[in-house]
Amino acid sequence: MQRYSSLAMLERLVGFDTVSHRSNLELIHFVRDYLAGWGISSQLIRSEDGGKANLYATIGPADRGGVMLAGHTDVVPVDGQAWSGAPFRLQVREQRAYGRGSADMKGFIAAVLAAAPDFAAARLRTPLHIALSYDEEIGCIGVRRLLNVLGGLPTLPRMAIVGEPTLMRVVAAHKGKLAYHVRLRGKAGHSSLPQAGVNAVEYAAELIVFIRQLARRRATEGPFDPLYPAPHTTLHVGAMRGGTALNIIPEHGEFEFEIRHLPEDEPQTLLAAIMDFARQQLLPAMRAVAPDADIVFTERSAYPGLLTAPDAEVVRFAQSLLGDARAPAKVSFGTEAGLFSQQVGIPTVVLGPGSITQAHQPDEWLALEQLSACDTLLDALRRRLSEPAP
């Protein structure tokens, strides 16, 4: 079986176009076969339609907890972005590896897979688990089927590291997220007779203004946590659509909004306020003109925040591998870590190579020194897991 450096493995992984609306099976099958070549068996947990899969593998004894290294295999689209080269062909220049997913987060996966033969040869006393998921970028969707399998195992991993890009800094907390689609149905008519119709776009705008007011209130009143780059819960309205022509009262309007909340904050309170305003303030006025008018909320995605204690075993363990005594950081972006922690009770931190500022960007890149630092971390982890189990 061919050995890969982490950079050579990254080149292979970037070459798989795993944008979320496509299958990741070609990559997953490559990883399964690669691991099998080193005597490592894998379990595939497929999506409901069979077009995608998670992968879960264990190296070492299966009768004890061990450490799980987790990452998502999907990447965001490149459509409409100005890339200087082919996004799915890795290019190395000026000590940077360019390609979609290089930072978010195939760099971490590449380092783990490149190190797998050494873990397999080490006769580990404490096991290493590898968990790869799909559809993280569209709401941490695929990992939930993996979580169902993990929850049924006789022995769970003792701790987990999710390798999202943190510049190799231990992260023990991140925000959670709720994302919703809102569709408004009004009544069409000629724009010269506005009283005869219900303008769905204008009512959508009123609801958006209310969401903006809630966002301003959180920004001024908190709660606050200064360790986050955005130190409070945020609300954001993204795409908005509606109307057909200027002289037609829009019958339909729709938009999407998200709440990215501090893990200690309760997003359901904000969501309830938004729904109450729509149903108690806007809908009665709409139905006074058009009885079948409606405002429909549909959840797009939701995942919890991560809140691991700064002195938790997993934090101290990760810090010891790095030789980094700094307090763990907090980040505003979300990961699968909160699901591992809350749904199946695996203490988790986020730690991986690269910067989140490069994620989702054209000419996404990963500094080679970051990839090397991840290699060093995995070397330290292998030595630690080779010691007698505590």
* CB contact set of 48 (below 8 Å; sequence gap of 6+): 145
Look up 136 and say whether it is catalytic.
yes
Which of 11, 74, 164, 364 is catalytic? The answer is 74
- Counting beta carbons within 10 angstroms of the beta carbon of residue 221, is it exposed (0 to 12), middle (13 to 18) or buried (19 or more)? exposed
Both tokens of residue 94? 């000026």
Measured from the Cβ of residue 99, the count of other Cβ atoms closer than 10 Å reads 27
CA atoms within 13 A on the CB side of 9: 25
Q: How far is CA 18 from CA 15, 46, 72, 77, 100, in A?
A: 9, 15, 10, 9, 9
Look up 336 and say whether it is catalytic.
no
Task: Report CA torsion sign: 24, 19, 171, 366.
Answer: positive
Which of 11, 104, 135, 136 is catalytic? The answer is 136
Beta strands in the chain (DSSP E): 42-46, 53-59, 67-72, 91-93, 96-98, 128-133, 159-162, 171-174, 176-185, 189-190, 234-242, 248-249, 252-261, 294-303, 306-307, 329-331, 348-350, 365-367
Instruction: Please choose, from the candidates 144, 124, 65, the residue with its C-alpha nearest in 3D space to the C-alpha of residue 347.
Output: 65
Instruction: Please choose, from the candidates 196, 216, 195, 212, the residue with its C-alpha nearest in 3D space to the C-alpha of residue 204.
Output: 212
Residues identified as active-site: 74, 136
